[in-house]
């Protein structure tokens, strides 16, 4: 889910975990956030995307994924990451004055590490 000017994540796997991800000052020039989206490597991933206010677009170009976040609508995308790493993205729909301050950071980790972090 998203709201101006941050992304909200809810994990439905094995736990009820929610977090908001705000841009965080870092050497990555407007591309880091305080809470990274944690994903397991070599596992099918399903992401549901929606918006609470205006059009947004959840995009991580290096992973080849993009989904529009539309108010009142639930969009989904499925993907598979065959390698671990940190992948950067951002809102790619001009959604207002702070559009460029909505980074996305997806951290793909081994499944054991993913499960340990969820507990």
pTM: 0.85
Note the pLDDT tens digit of each residue in 31-40. Answer: 888 888 999 9
Determine the pLDDT at residue 3. Answer: 62
| Structure letter (DSSP) for residue 36 | P
Domains identified in the chain, total number: 1
Q: Looking at the chain, which runs of residues are DSSP E strands?
A: 2-3, 6-11, 17-21, 37-40, 44-49, 56-60, 65-69, 75-80, 85-91, 103-109
Average pLDDT over all residues of the chain: 87
12: domain CATH number is 2.60.40.420
pLDDT of residue 1: 54
């Amino acid at each position: 889910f998203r709201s101006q000017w941050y992304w909200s994540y809810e994990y439905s796997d094995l736990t009820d975990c929610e977090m908001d991800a705000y841009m965080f000052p870092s050497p990555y020039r407007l591309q880091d956030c305080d809470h990274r989206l944690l994903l397991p490597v070599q596992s099918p991933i399903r992401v549901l995307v929606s918006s609470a206010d205006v059009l947004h677009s959840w995009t991580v170009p290096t992973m080849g994924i993009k989904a529009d976040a539309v108010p009142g609508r639930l969009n989904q995308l499925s993907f598979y990451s065959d390698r671990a790493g940190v992948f950067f993205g951002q809102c790619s729909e001009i959604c207002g004055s702070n559009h460029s301050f909505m980074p996305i950071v997806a951290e793909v980790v081994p499944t054991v590490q993913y499960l340990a972090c969820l507990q």
